[in-house]
Each structure stands twice: as structure tokens, then as C-alpha cells.
Amino acid sequence: MKARDARVLLTGATGGLGRPIAAMLLEAGAGVLLAGRSPARLAELARELDQDSRERCDWHEADLAAPASIETLARAGTQWRCNVVVHAAGVPAFGPAGSLSAQAVQRVLDVNLLGPMLLTQALLAGLAGQARSQVIFIGSVLGAIGLPGFSAYCASKFGLRGYAQSLRRELEDGPVRVQYLGPRSTRTPFNEPAVEAYNRATRTAMDEPERVAREALRLLEDEAAERFLGFPERLGVRLNGAVPTWLDRSFTPHRRALAETPADPLQQG
């Protein structure tokens, strides 16, 4: 679908990836309904991006951890005549698996996995009734490679990728195109100081959020089913899918870095 024909419901719109994705979509001619938890930040972003027309850029408050809020957002998206959903909302969870509180684990699964699933289900009938529509999940390379320190986060993204893959195959004969974009680590405030230290210790390559935004726009227009970003991450995805145990020893530096990383009290029980 060409961007100029897209009316996009974008979750996580005020986040480190959401903002550049929204800006790039609007610049390419799309309409964007911004969704997020903060009305003040959403209204400010909408003014920054398009001061002339609420028809091209509007916003709606929503919390993806709250089913009732998801239902309200789905109704708003349908009324706004969205034909594309971009799931960019997400929350982090980093640290040794045994150190994560039950609340932290529940939150990452609710926002990163269950919320997108419920929102997609709520919008599906409307999307299927259009000549052409798309659902784009902004996941992670960690939806295909399990990484020490990211057990709960990987679980949420593995689940999201599995949901996207299953839904893509289920809807193959209809008008709804389902896609998955897997960025690698990205320079945004999403990364807490402990993750930044971990990335430095493991020499993890990072991308600017604008690159991810460009790839999201490209995915919209070329309608590829799935794309991962970065090398050697793309190779790692292939190897991990074929023979996952081959990569186990390659993560020794990551295990050691995790052991030396200070615990985040916000993730603890």
C-alpha cells in the first residue's frame, strides 16, 4: 500500500520509535491516529506533526494493559476509518530472570503481547471489510533470538512474532496483510542505564530510531511479510531458527555482562 493511501492507527506514538514513525508516515502522505497513555503528550505531538488538519493527524488516549481501553481505541480506529495498524507500543524488562518481579513480568506480557493481540482482534472485522488493509507488528530481533537478561521481554516478542506468523497464514486469502518488523537494539530512552552498560560490555550494535522508522515505512509500501534489521542479527535469526543450540556458547559474554550489571530496583519484587 502506498503511504498516501494509508490511514494508520499507531500505538506507542509518543515513544522513542513511535514519534519518528509518525513523522515519517505523515511526511509520506499517510494519515495517522496517534495512540498512547498521555493525553498531554499526544496532543503536543499532534500539534508538532500536523497543525493544519485533524483529518490527517489526530490522537486517542489508550492503555494497552487495560482491555476496556483497548475496546475504546478499536472503536476510535474504526470511526477514523483506519486501514493500517502499526503496533509500536512496548515496555522493557531487563535483568536476571529470577530478579524480575511478578508485576514486571505481567506488565511486559500485557503491553507487548496481549494488548496487540486484543486490539488486532477488535479491529479485524473492520480491516477485513476493506479492499486492502495491513497490520504491522513492530517486534524485535529478540522475537527470534533468546538473549540472556531479556527472558520476559523475549517471551513477549517471541509470542508476538508467533501471533503475527499464525495470523498471516490464517488471513492469506483475504484483504488483510500481516507483517512483522524486527529491529535490533535502538538508541532511545527505552533503554535504561543497565541496558546501555550491558550493550557496551557486549559490543551490541545499535541503530538510530529514524532507521527503524524508514524500515517501517518501507514495510508498509512493499508489504513484505517479515524483516529483521542489522548484521549479524539477520544471520543470527536464520541460524537460531535452524539450529538454535549452535549459538548457545556465543552468548558467554552476555551471560558474564549480565552477572556484572547492577540490578534495577524497579524490576524487583
3-state helix, strand, coil in the chain (%, to 5): 55, 15, 35
| Sheet strand arrangement including 7-11 | 57-61, 31-36, 7-11, 84-87, 133-138, 176-182, 226-228
Dihedral-angle region of residue 27 (phi above 0 means left; psi in -120 to 50 means alpha; beta otherwise): alpha
Round to whole Å and give the CA distance between 188 and 231. Answer: 20
Q: Angle of helix 18-27 relative to helix 39-49, nearest 10 degrees?
A: 30
Set 153, 163, 180, 198: catalytic member: 153
Q: Are 269 and 101 in contact (CB under 8 A)?
A: yes
Round to whole Å and give the CA distance between 33 and 85. Answer: 10
Round to whole Å and give the CA distance between 213 and 161. Answer: 19
Round to whole Å and give the CA distance between 188 and 201. Answer: 18
Residue 153 appears among annotated catalytic residues:
yes
- Residue 120 DSSP SS3: helix
Residues annotated as catalytic are 153
